[in-house]
Chain A
């Protein structure tokens, strides 16, 4: 079954077409990556799918619920970990998680159970009482993802989750994302080719708001006639391969 079905989704800002008649599907439990250079339309696509911005035309369905007509139902199914780290800096890690539990209306017992579960899942025990603003970039991203998982979303949007992290922090975060595979449908946007290739079940490559290709990393390399995924990406974006 499709977790997300996108039909001719379009977003225009004045004369600029940020996303142009995008049509694709994401399967349930899949880790799906959106790749593209700056301005390709990845973040705008995520913003539309997470009801943060209205499409100019077209529609998308999250577990069958329209993002245009049923935003409340869609919001209850999704969670977003934005591009920049979205944590409350003056609160501790525990308090940040508590904040998210509270805005989703959890009871005190459920709050404690959920925070304990996510703390273990994301390995946050060591920093649980530390202020979020004092954590390193890697820990903040980890917390940011934990905050997104609080609501037990069926679909998780990770917008460039490893941007600006060092190699070790990125590797740790990859392990974390891998551990979430199958538990939740993940839509990942990234600039890093190796990240998309290593983590994704399928990859969509966008350019100027248009979808160029959507397939597994292996098939994309095959179509581009190269063994190197980065080369395949460049060929496809430059229009050398289709």
Chain B
């Protein structure tokens, strides 16, 4: 109950920011429309709607990292957290309260992307539902990354690192904009050592109904999500202790 109250507050703070609505929900839609228009004129396999949509749904989650990092960093910068530390809220309440509200936002973002994709010609199959379901562990991965950044950085630093750097890196290293085989070598190896491309490969496999194809990508996603979540919790508790002096 206490945790849900705190989670509810975080949901309101995130959704009431107009930039959230634009970047979180509008920007991925703009990308699907734009890249589909390019695809219509210059056909590229990568931008075919059934390839493009899973990539965009994962790329859009980079903004969830930004949202979670921003709200924590802002709270740390104000005295609100200090006030809440004197209440019966436990450290677990704080972690869950920051994490849970962003999961439904991620799912809504994913659903909107698929609705737009259907309008643009994506076949309606049950696999879309599975793909939306599979976005949940991926969203936890991105939210955990946000928790980690928000616990370490100031809100201004979060804007630069999560808003610009991470968004671009996660896109380049995920194969959403270009086929990683075109670059190959160390770039491809680094990309496959990180979770972003695995998340997209997993989503593409699910949408294609190739359920055996989600492995080993699912393990990479879950592994990274677990490690990042543990690191985020440790970092949050560390900053909490530090802030309390």
B185 within 8 A of partner (CB): no
Report chain A residues within 8 Å CB of B78. Answer: 84-86, 89
Q: List the one stretch of A29-37, A47-55, A114-122 in contact with chain B.
A: A47-55
B80 within 8 A of partner (CB): yes
A105 within 8 A of partner (CB): yes
- Known contacts A47-B245, A50-B86; A103/B80 CB under 8 A: no
Q: Are A83 and B79 in contact, CB atoms less than 8 angstroms apart?
A: yes
Report chain A residues within 8 Å CB of B16. Answer: 90
Q: How many A-B contacts at CB < 8 Å in the complex?
A: 81
- Known contacts A91-B12, A102-B5, A103-B6; A151/B80 CB under 8 A: no
Complex CA gap A20/B2 in Å reads 37
A79 (CB) vs chain B CBs: closest residue: B86
Report chain B residues within 8 Å CB of A105. Answer: 1-2, 88
Report chain A residues within 8 Å CB of B2. Answer: 102-105
Q: Are B79 and A91 in contact, CB atoms less than 8 angstroms apart?
A: no
B8 within 8 A of partner (CB): yes
Complex CA gap A13/B245 in Å reads 9
Q: Are A95 and B86 in contact, CB atoms less than 8 angstroms apart?
A: no
Report chain A residues within 8 Å CB of B9. Answer: 88, 91, 95, 99
B5 (CB) vs chain A CBs: closest residue: A102
CB proximity to B under 8 Å, residues A45-92: 47, 50-53, 72, 75-76, 78-91
- Known contacts A99-B6, A99-B9; A85/B79 CB under 8 A: yes
Q: Can you spell out 14 A-B residue pairs with CB atoms less than 8 angstroms apart? A: A52-B86, A53-B244, A82-B79, A82-B83, A84-B79, A88-B9, A95-B9, A99-B8, A102-B2, A103-B2, A103-B89, A104-B88, A105-B2, A105-B88
Given contacts A50-B86, A72-B88, A104-B88, 6 further A-B pairs with CB under 8 A are A79-B86, A80-B83, A81-B83, A88-B80, A90-B12, A103-B87
